Amino acid sequence: MKAKFEVRDICVKYGERRILDHVGLEIFEGEFCGLLGLNGSGKTTLLHAICGFIPMQGGCFVNGTDCGKLTERKRAREVALIPQTCSLEGGRTALEVVLMGYNAWLHILESPSREHREKALDIMDKLGCRGLADKDFGQLSLGQRQMVILARCMVQDTPVMLMDEPDSALDFLNKHIVLQKIRNVIQNEGKMGLITMHDPNFAMKYCDRLFLLKDGAILTQIDMRKDPECKIKRDLSTVYGRIELLKNGKEYLMVRGEDA
């Protein structure tokens, strides 16, 4: 049986305002799924709720384990988050940042071992960023930082990887590089990945399925592996309004439709 990550009936309120309204979804082993929606639709709020950063109703389950009943430390062994922007400053090397991924597994006051360091370097090598190991994290480009944070996420070795627009500050080329690396990690390592994105074109290219979020609720989902063009266009239009789809081989490009 494939591993499964399940979000059940999540609701989040800020005061009297409901931000998430009974959100539910499932992601299976090896799947890279996208969460699309306009600004304010609740994408980041959903990730923060899953990670336990904000109060919520509902539940999150990794292979049947209720994350809401886990300590913060044990939850960090099930779910890892790659934030949109990293709050870490300089003064530490890229390798030291990657080694922080072991924090959920080490005892209090325990430091990473030589074996931990070697594994971290191997992971950085796989991602093509081992040459950054001794460089100051604060001096790295945004694309380099995201590769280091991805390496930290891999070191954390969780079955679920959540990503909050990790490509938002990257240029066109680095977006493709980072998203391809993330996709490879999820497929090759059998992870379950959920990424929030602004650009549906990148989502359609790299994600297996897309969840469309509007006003705090998931309206529908698109399976890029098998759904026909008419359904993809219809579903995307529920969020983005009048659109057109252009097809290039097996890939789609969404453009804004002409006003009537």
Q: Where are the domains of the chain?
A: 1-78+159-227, 87-157
Question: Tell me, what's the pLDDT at 78?
Answer: 96
Q: At what angle do helices 114-126 and 142-156 cross, to 10 degrees?
A: 130
Q: What is the DSSP letter of 147?
A: H
Please report the DSSP string for 98-124 in residue order. HHGGGTTTSPTT----HHHHHHHHHHH
Q: Tell me how far apart the alpha carbons of residues 162 and 202 are, in angstroms, rounded to a whole number.
A: 17
Q: Tell me how far apart the alpha carbons of residues 175 and 219 are, in angstroms, rounded to a whole number.
A: 27
Q: Does domain 1-78+159-227 have CATH number 2.130.10.10?
A: no
Question: Tell me, what's the pLDDT at 260?
Answer: 41
Mean pLDDT per 10-residue interval, the chain, length 260 residues: 94 92 97 96 96 95 95 94 79 95 89 95 93 95 89 94 89 90 93 96 97 96 97 97 92 83
Contacts of 29 (CB under 8 A, 6+ apart): 2, 3, 4, 159, 190, 191, 192
Beta bridge partners of 74: none
Helix or strand or coil: residue 81? Answer: strand
Q: Tell me how far apart the alpha carbons of residues 113 and 99 are, in angstroms, rounded to a whole number.
A: 10
Is the CB of residue 46 less than 8 Å from the CB of residue 20?
yes
Q: Tell me how far apart the alpha carbons of residues 9 and 89 are, in angstroms, rounded to a whole number.
A: 37
